[in-house]
């Protein structure tokens, strides 16, 4: 257990930051799953824009690595493009 005032403060601030990071990462996972589960092209495009913006924002704040954000965006883009191709063939 911390004895110094500054160490006690660090414990509190670290807990707040950990909660914010966990919440942010959880939201990113949820948005990504919604995009990947979507079969409707127009709905997927709307969700995609939101997900990409949130992934970039999360990466810029250092909550996830920039390459992780890039990888997620890439997989969502592939999914979105596959929906576009299927819609054009019908």
Q: What is the pLDDT of residues 49-75, one digit of tens each?
A: 999 999 999 999 999 999 999 999 999
How far is it, in rounded angstroms, from Cα 25 to Cα 21? Answer: 6
Does residue 86 carry a pLDDT above 90? no
Is residue 28 within 8 Å of residue 58, measured between CB atoms?
A: yes
Q: Say how far apart CA 32 and CA 18 lie, in whole Å.
A: 21
- Per-domain residue ranges of the chain: 39-90
Overall pTM surpassing 0.85 (yes/no): no
Q: pLDDT band at residue 84, thresholds of 50, 70 and 90?
A: low
Summarize pLDDT for 8-46 with one digit per residue, the tens: 999 999 999 999 999 999 999 999 999 999 999 999 999
């Amino acid at each position: 257990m911390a004895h110094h005032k500054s160490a006690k403060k660090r414990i509190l601030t670290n807990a707040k930051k950990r909660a914010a990071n966990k919440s942010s990462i959880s939201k990113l996972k949820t948005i990504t799953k919604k995009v990947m589960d979507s079969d409707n092209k127009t709905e997927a495009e709307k969700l995609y824009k939101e997900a990409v913006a949130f992934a970039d924002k999360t990466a810029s704040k250092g909550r996830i690595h920039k390459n992780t954000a890039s990888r997620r965006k890439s997989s969502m883009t592939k999914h979105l493009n596959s929906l576009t191709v299927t819609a054009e063939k019908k």
